[in-house]
């Protein structure tokens, strides 16, 4: 269905069944600001990798053709093996996925481990006692390399002025992720090492039945498991309040983010997304006051982690936010696109916002129609134009969605489990997504 950029009907129901990458250009802080101000694009020259290189996912075959040992027991919730012996890297270039296309180029690399490196987090007012988890980051991982991120001008990066672009995947609405893909520690480590992801987005459903408003304990438990796994694997994690009408219950959002910031605000790998996709509501009169209130709840416990603010009309009207941004530090603004539907007109709107100095983060996108790809169509050339644009301006992204279904945005083939090698289960736009995680 060809939808306008101001109308994005959503499939509200259970949908069954992505990856992230960080690149950087080391520049001095003052130079980075000058480059941002002048609009000069920075070219990525380095790429973050996992601990010591890829580790084998469940069912992975080693370079010698020997399958990785299977687990003796599994986690009753996620299906994760209780112990996995890393044996091999991702399949080499040309390995066929389920759809017969290469999963990703690149040589087989040595399997690695999550050997910890200790970093003491700065003391935060009201921060919970999570020193052991917050203070240990696996060596060689994105978080070990870059630490806590900040916003400088319109760019994202660590305090030394390096400019980074995070690339990764989003979960499905967690209330419909009954296969627990996003909660799998083994598969998060596999996606980091094999696909190269550096960020994962935890899309906590809010309004539907079984989501946060009706079952807050379960929803929080899911998010907390993903945050803990991201900390263990040294990747960044976006805690996403996945709602369309959050302004109708602002108190619930404030309560959620206050509690989460108190518990996780001291961790350098956590980013907050306060409102996934607002409807066509006023930025100045409705959304901005909402974000100001929720931001205040976060900043009581977490004074400096990055906060990403949703924008009007399914997070497309970023120009409205640029005309009246929220005051504060380390703030970014959400931009979403689906390439079969959204094209040059939406990019022009984003360019106006970017030229005004608004920091953008694409927390959700698909190489599909705006309904998530119910017809199965993949518009790769149109998505290439979008991702080339994002690469040019170092705009970070997470692709929709870590799920198994027939929608073209479902990354996994129907019936996929957390015990399988996901490189053999890619579906829809997944092959393109994994390839662009590697290349930008």
Question: Which helix (H) or strand (E) covers residue 24, if one does?
Answer: strand 22-25
Provide DSSP, 328-344.
SSSEEEEEEEETTT--H
Tokens of 229: 């796994």
Angle value at C-alpha 108, between 103 and 109, nearest 5 degrees: 125
Burial of 213 (0-12, 13-18, 19+ CB in 10 A): middle
3-class secondary-structure state, position 96: strand
Instruction: List beta partners, residue 81.
Output: 74
Q: Which of 5, 245, 277, 380 is catalytic?
A: 277
**116-118 and 136-138 as β-strands: parallel, antiparallel, unpaired?**
antiparallel
3-class secondary-structure state, position 249: helix
277 carries an active-site annotation: yes
Q: For residues 264 and 237, give the distance between their C-alpha atoms in angstroms, rounded to a whole number.
A: 11
Q: For residues 246 and 55, give the distance between their C-alpha atoms in angstroms, rounded to a whole number.
A: 39
End-to-end CA distance of the chain: 28
Eight-class DSSP state of 276: S
183 carries an active-site annotation: no
Q: For residues 77 and 69, give the distance between their C-alpha atoms in angstroms, rounded to a whole number.
A: 21
> Catalytic positions, please?
277, 364
């Amino acid at each position: 269905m060809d939808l306008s950029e101001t109308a994005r009907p959503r499939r509200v129901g259970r949908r069954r069944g992505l990856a992230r990458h960080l690149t950087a250009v080391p520049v001095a802080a003052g130079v980075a600001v000058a480059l941002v101000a002048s609009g000069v694009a920075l070219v990525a020259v380095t790429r973050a990798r996992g601990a010591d290189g890829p580790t084998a996912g469940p069912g992975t075959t080693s370079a010698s053709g020997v399958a990785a040992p299977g687990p003796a027991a599994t986690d009753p919730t996620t299906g994760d093996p209780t112990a996995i012996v890393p044996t091999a890297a991702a399949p080499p270039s040309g390995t066929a996925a389920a759809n017969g296309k290469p999963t990703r180029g690149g040589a087989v690399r040595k399997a690695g481990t999550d050997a910890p490196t200790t970093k003491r987090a700065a003391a935060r007012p009201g921060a919970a006692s999570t020193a052991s988890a917050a203070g240990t980051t696996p060596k060689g991982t994105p978080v070990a390399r870059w630490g806590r991120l900040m916003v400088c001008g319109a760019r994202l990066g660590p305090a030394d002025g390096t400019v980074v672009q995070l690339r990764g995947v989003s979960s499905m609405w967690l209330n419909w992720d009954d296969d627990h893909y996003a909660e799998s520690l083994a598969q998060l480590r596999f996606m980091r090492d094999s696909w190269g992801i550096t960020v994962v987005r935890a899309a906590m459903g809010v309004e539907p039945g079984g989501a946060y408003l009706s079952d807050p304990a379960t929803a929080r438990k899911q998010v907390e498991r993903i945050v803990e796994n991201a900390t263990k694997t040294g990747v960044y994690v976006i805690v996403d309040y996945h709602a369309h009408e959050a302004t109708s219950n602002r108190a619930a959002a404030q309560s959620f983010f206050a509690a989460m910031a108190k518990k996780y605000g001291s961790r350098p790998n956590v980013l907050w997304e306060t409102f996934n996709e607002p409807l066509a509501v006023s930025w100045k009169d409705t959304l901005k006051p909402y974000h100001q209130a929720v931001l205040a709840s976060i900043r009581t416990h977490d004074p400096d982690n990055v906060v990403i603010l949703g924008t009007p009309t399914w997070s497309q009207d970023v120009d409205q936010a640029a005309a009246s941004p929220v005051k504060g530090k380390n703030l970014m603004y959400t931009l979403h696109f689906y390439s079969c539907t959204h094209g040059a007109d939406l990019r022009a709107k984003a360019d106006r916002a970017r030229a005004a100095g608004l920091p953008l983060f694409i927390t959700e996108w698909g190489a599909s129609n705006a309904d998530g790809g119910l017809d199965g169509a993949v518009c790769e050339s149109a998505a290439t134009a979008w991702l080339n644009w994002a690469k040019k301006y170092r705009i970070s992204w997470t692709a929709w969605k870590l799920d198994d279904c027939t929608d073209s945005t479902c990354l996994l083939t129907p019936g996929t489990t957390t015990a399988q090698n996901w490189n053999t289960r890619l579906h829809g736009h997944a092959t393109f997504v994994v390839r662009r995680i590697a290349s930008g």
